[in-house]
């Protein structure tokens, strides 16, 4: 780790994707297509542009965040330590 750098948050499988690019992908020529899969949900999509790839990833990450928020809201709150 470099001096003065902040430690990074741990990487979670809930935020992991597998991206497969077609053999004729040429990013420098603007040709990008393939398949992307969200590891935890196993939802997958084909993409034909960077925008489509990023839109799928954004949608999946929003679902992960919404699920985490719902799980937090459903968790029973800790008993108040003043009430004994």
Q: What is the pLDDT of residue 10?
A: 86
Per the domain annotation, does 41 fall within a domain? yes
Predicted confidence (pLDDT) per residue in 31-75, tens digit: 999 999 999 999 999 999 999 999 999 999 999 999 888 888 888
Per the domain annotation, does 82 fall within a domain? no
Per the domain annotation, does 8 fall within a domain? no
Per the domain annotation, does 27 fall within a domain? yes
Per the domain annotation, does 2 fall within a domain? no
Q: Which residues of 46-69 are buried (b: 16+ CB within 10 A; e: fewer)?
A: ebeeeeebeebbeebeeebeeeee
Whether the model clears a pTM of 0.95, i.e. scores above it, the answer is no
């Amino acid at each position: 780790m470099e001096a003065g750098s902040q430690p990074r948050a741990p990487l979670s499988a809930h935020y992991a994707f597998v991206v497969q690019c077609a053999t004729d992908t040429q990013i420098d020529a603007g040709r990008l297509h393939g398949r992307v899969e969200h590891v935890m949900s196993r939802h997958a999509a084909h993409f034909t542009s960077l925008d489509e790839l990023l839109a799928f990833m954004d949608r999946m990450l929003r679902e992960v965040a919404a699920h985490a928020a719902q799980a937090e809201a459903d968790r029973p709150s800790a008993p108040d330590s003043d009430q004994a």
